[in-house]
């Protein structure tokens, strides 16, 4: 039975049900009782496994299909009416054509299954910035994940119904169908506020609130409404005076957002009273506040974090966040104590265990037990360092924006842009080695502007223009920086210790933002002198820090050539200001 009198919602649900033909329809009300019943059902079918109730209370293990373990960028489409509105970096198909193709695939695909109707909100539903969605899905796993990652249920329907336009919600249709890779599609129709996803049950392909709504659709809406949807973590740095300053940082998938968002400062900092507060680990919605600053809201309610490499040393707060009420996907099942394991959790892989595919796993045979893109889904409220501002509707004011990626050699540890426009240039030229978060080759350097290459819902050239335009509308804009934790030596080892030690770089960034730290000019922007980065309690020679902060002109000349080639994709949609910035970089390097 429908939970709402909202005509637009009911008509659409009925229309989709007529196409997909489920045996029944269940509305998700957001109650613990209903979720409990769904977990029971999911346990009975083997879709999820209950983990040890003492060690991991309320936690479950799920294994996705072996062919369905990451986002599929080559199957992700922006179906705007005009091809040029999707731009050169997105796959495009005309909406009519895509709807027609997918209607065939959806036809009767839920026969023998239940359709779950998930009313959800990105951001606190009572917030004026919230965006509402309804996801229809035939996967209980998706329901259970959405219940952690978003606010769901009757509370959301009430807010939608009493909003200025109750028919204004994102229409998300999802079906696992046959998990058929060939016919897997993640299609967005920005002008219809609609997402159709079929033949995947995993992560960003299936949890439609996350990348599909909160980034692709929201970036499109944000451009129209004068705000920005970004692939950014948000954190607060509390200094010994008790003052908290905020920054947001965009790194590509599996490049360190969750880790940075909840880092524990090194002992030397903790003793002085420094602390990091986590506001968000993946997505930020940015708006100009009435005070002239840029304010950030995390639209999500949970973390969908990378498991491998997460341990009590690298990211204790992430580990503590997923000790209860969490879902683990594609990790190792330790059969001895009914817990989970992944590479990098500790040095003692379980002897009696199943790998992520559910096969008996011999940890000595050299194979990986957990999938490199295996993940935990955990409520953000369980994070020991969750910010007191996590749920405040207006979010937090930003003093700095940070871009970063995986670069073995070119990018220095950190540098600052000269001003907003140069900062937009720095974001637009981001490049990073690909990771397991998306299907395809891993470790290949590609341009990934603002870490949004796979997530921008419209023409990237227009997106750059929107960034430049926003700069004009923020009287007191955050300062813009670039970081790189991933420089390697000749043997491929990371030079910078990273993780908690990144605090040392954050300190320089946030002090720079307030004019409290020094810097020197370089061809690419402003760099700290090696002595400007605090090395107290860090076993790292000054010489190594110098190396981390060098700008190799030959490498950068090559880089400038690649940027020029990349920019040429955008034709006359490339804002002339970015061309000017590139010309200036080339001149500085000459
Ligand atoms: P998505 O959830 O895909 O958006 O990823 P993310 O950006 O949140 O990345 P995450 O923090 O989960 O880190 C991904 C991988 O990078 C993990 O294996 C981490 O261990 C590793 N990593 C994170 N921070 C650092 C760092 O400072 N140095 C090094 N060397 N590795 C890091
Ligand atoms: C990413 O790939 O950036 C993620 C995971 O955060 S997913 O939800 O699959 O997009
Ligand atoms: Mn992400």
Question: Can you give the CATH number for the domain in which 244 is found?
Answer: 3.90.228.20
Q: Which of 180, 204, 225 is the last residue of a domain?
A: 225
Q: Measure 255 CA to ligand 2 centroid, in angstroms.
A: 11
Nearest of 145, 551, 142, 580 to residue 326 by alpha carbon: 145
Q: Check if the beta carbon of residue 266 is closer than 8 Å to that of residue 537.
A: yes
Report if residue 57 sits inside a domain.
no
Ligand 1 atom having least distance to the Cα of 309: 20
Q: Are residues 251 and 127 in the same domain?
A: no
Q: Which of 322, 349, 381 is the last residue of a domain?
A: 381
Ligand 2 pocket test, candidate residues 298, 437, 450, most atoms within 8 A of CB? 437
Q: Are residues 315 and 453 in the same domain?
A: no
Average pLDDT, the chain: 97
Inter-axis angle of helices 576-589 and 460-473, to 10 degrees? Answer: 90
Torsion of CA 234, 239, 243, 244, to 10 degrees: 0
Closest residue by CA, ligand 1 atom 20:
309
Q: Check if the beta carbon of residue 51 is closer than 8 Å to that of residue 61.
A: yes
Q: Are residues 208 and 277 in the same domain?
A: no
Ligand 1 pocket test, candidate residues 309, 374, 450, most atoms within 8 A of CB? 309
> Is-catalytic flag, 255?
yes
* Ligand 1 close to Cβ of residue 455 (< 6 A): no
Q: Is 290 a residue whose pLDDT tops 90? A: yes
Q: Are residues 211 and 287 in the same domain?
A: no
Report if residue 245 sits inside a domain.
yes
The pair of structure tokens assigned to 180 is 């058929």
Q: Is 179 exposed, middle or buried (0-12, 13-18, 19+ CB in 10 A)?
A: middle
Percent over 70 (pLDDT), the chain? 100
How far, in Å, CA of 578 to CA of 583, rounded? 9
Q: Measure 537 CA to ligand 2 centroid, in angstroms.
A: 34
**Range of 438's domain?**
230-298+390-589
Closest residue by CA, ligand 2 atom 1:
253
Among the options 255, 278, 322, 383, which is catalytic?
255
Q: Is 324 a residue whose pLDDT tops 90? A: yes
The pair of structure tokens assigned to 267 is 């002992």
* Ligand 2 close to Cβ of residue 71 (< 6 A): yes
**Total structural domains in the chain?**
3
What ranges in 76-235 are assigned the alpha helix state H? Answer: 83-86, 95-106, 140-149, 154-161, 203-206, 218-225
How far, in Å, CA of 327 to CA of 323, rounded? 10
Report if residue 51 sits inside a domain.
no
Predicted confidence at residue 519, as pLDDT, reads 97
* Ligand 1 close to Cβ of residue 373 (< 6 A): no
Report if residue 323 sits inside a domain.
yes
Q: Which of 350, 381, 412 is the last residue of a domain?
A: 381
Nearest of 146, 95, 93 to residue 117 by alpha carbon: 146
Q: Are residues 290 and 312 in the same domain?
A: no
The sign of the dihedral angle between the CA atoms of 325, 329, 331, 334 is positive
Report if residue 242 sits inside a domain.
yes
Ligand 1 pocket test, candidate residues 149, 306, 312, 448, most atoms within 8 A of CB? 306
Q: Are residues 485 and 564 in the same domain?
A: yes
Q: Are residues 243 and 311 in the same domain?
A: no
Report if residue 158 sits inside a domain.
yes
Q: Report pTM.
A: 0.98
Inter-axis angle of helices 95-106 and 7-20, to 10 degrees? Answer: 60
**Of the ligands numbered here, which is closest to the C-alpha atom of 404?**
1
Q: Are residues 468 and 574 in the same domain?
A: yes
Nearest of 440, 528, 538, 461 to residue 497 by alpha carbon: 538
What ranges in 107-254 are assigned the alpha helix state H? Answer: 140-149, 154-161, 203-206, 218-225
The Cα-based distances of 579 to 121, 418, 480 in angstroms read 39, 16, 19
**Of the ligands numbered here, which is closest to the C-alpha atom of 250?**
1
How far, in Å, CA of 435 to CA of 252, rounded? 9
Please, which residues bridge with residue 122 across strands?
131
Q: Are residues 151 and 192 in the same domain?
A: yes
Q: Measure 167 CA to ligand 2 centroid, in angstroms.
A: 28
Chain segment 62-111, per-residue pLDDT in tens: 999 999 999 999 999 999 999 999 999 999 999 999 999 999 999 999 99
CATH value at residue 353: 2.170.8.10
Q: Are residues 221 and 360 in the same domain?
A: no
Report if residue 67 sits inside a domain.
no
Q: Are residues 375 and 411 in the same domain?
A: no
What ranges in 172-292 are assigned the alpha helix state H? Answer: 203-206, 218-225, 257-261, 267-272
Q: Are residues 112 and 199 in the same domain?
A: yes
Report if residue 61 sits inside a domain.
no
* pLDDT grade for 1, boundaries at 50, 70 and 90: confident
Residue entry with tokens 């223009």: 465
């Amino acid at each position: 039975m429908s939970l709402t009198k909202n005509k637009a919602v009911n008509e659409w649900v009925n229309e989709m049900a007529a196409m997909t033909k489920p045996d029944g329809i269940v509305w998700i009300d957001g109650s613990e009782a209903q979720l409990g019943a769904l977990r029971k059902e999911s346990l009975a079918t083997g879709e999820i496994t209950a983990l040890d109730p003492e060690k991991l209370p309320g936690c479950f293990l799920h294994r996705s299909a072996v062919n369905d373990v990451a986002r599929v960028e080559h199957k992700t489409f922006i179906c705007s009416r005009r091809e040029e509105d999707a731009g050169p970096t997105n796959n495009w198909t005309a909406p009519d054509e895509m709807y027609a193709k997918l209607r065939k695939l959806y036809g009767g695909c839920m026969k023998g299954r239940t359709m779950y109707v998930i009313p959800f909100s990105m951001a606190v539903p009572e917030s004026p910035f919230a965006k509402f969605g309804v996801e229809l899905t035939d996967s209980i796993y998706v329901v259970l994940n959405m219940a952690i990652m978003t606010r769901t249920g009757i509370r959301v329907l009430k807010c939608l119904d009493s909003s200025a336009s109750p028919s204004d919600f994102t229409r998300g249709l999802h079906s696992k169908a046959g998990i058929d890779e060939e016919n897997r599609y993640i299609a967005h129709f920005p002008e219809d506020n609609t997402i159709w996803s079929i033949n995947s049950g995993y992560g960003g392909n299936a949890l439609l609130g996350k990348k599909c709504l909160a980034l692709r659709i929201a970036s499109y809406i944000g451009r129209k409404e004068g705000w920005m949807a970004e692939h950014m973590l948000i954190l607060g740095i509390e200094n010994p005076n008790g003052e908290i300053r905020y920054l947001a940082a965009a790194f590509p998938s599996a490049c360190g957002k969750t880790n940075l968002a909840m880092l524990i400062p090194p002992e030397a900092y903790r003793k002085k009273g420094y602390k990091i507060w986590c506001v968000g680990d993946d997505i930020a919605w940015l708006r100009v506040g009435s005070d002239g600053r840029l304010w950030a809201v995390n639209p999500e309610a949970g973390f969908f974090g990378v498991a491998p490499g997460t341990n009590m040393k690298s990211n204790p707060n992430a580990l503590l966040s997923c000790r209860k009420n969490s879902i683990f996907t594609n990790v190792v099942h330790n059969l001895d104590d009914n817990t989970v394991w992944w590479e990098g959790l500790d040095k003692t892989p379980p002897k009696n265990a199943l790998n992520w595919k559910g096969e008996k796993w011999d940890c000595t045979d050299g194979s990986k037990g957990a999938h490199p893109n295996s993940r935990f889904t955990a409520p953000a409220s369980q994070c020991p360092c969750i910010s007191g501002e996590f749920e405040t509707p207006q979010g937090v004011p930003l003093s700095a924006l940070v871009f970063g990626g995986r670069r073995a050699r070119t990018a220095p540890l950190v540098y600052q842009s000269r001003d907003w426009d140069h900062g937009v240039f720095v974001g637009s030229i981001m490049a990073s080695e690909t990771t397991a978060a998306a299907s395809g080759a891993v470790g290949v350097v590609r341009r990934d502007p603002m870490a949004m290459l796979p997530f921008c819902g419209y023409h990237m050239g227009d997106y750059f223009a929107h960034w430049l335009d926003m700069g004009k509308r923020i009287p007191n804009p955050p300062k813009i920086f670039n970081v790189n934790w991933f420089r390697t030596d000749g043997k491929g080892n990371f030079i910078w210790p990273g993780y908690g030690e990144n605090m040392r770089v954050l300190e320089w960034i946030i002090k720079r933002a307030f004019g409290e730290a020094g810097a020197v000019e370089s061809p690419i922007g402003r760099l700290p002198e090696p002595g400007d980065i605090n090395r107290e309690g860090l076993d790292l020679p000054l010489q190594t820090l110098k190396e981390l902060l060098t700008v190799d002109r030959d490498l950068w000349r090559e880089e400038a050539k690649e940027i020029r080639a990349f920019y040429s994709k955008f034709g006359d949609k490339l804002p002339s200001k970015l061309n000017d910035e590139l010309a200036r970089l080339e001149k500085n390097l000459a």
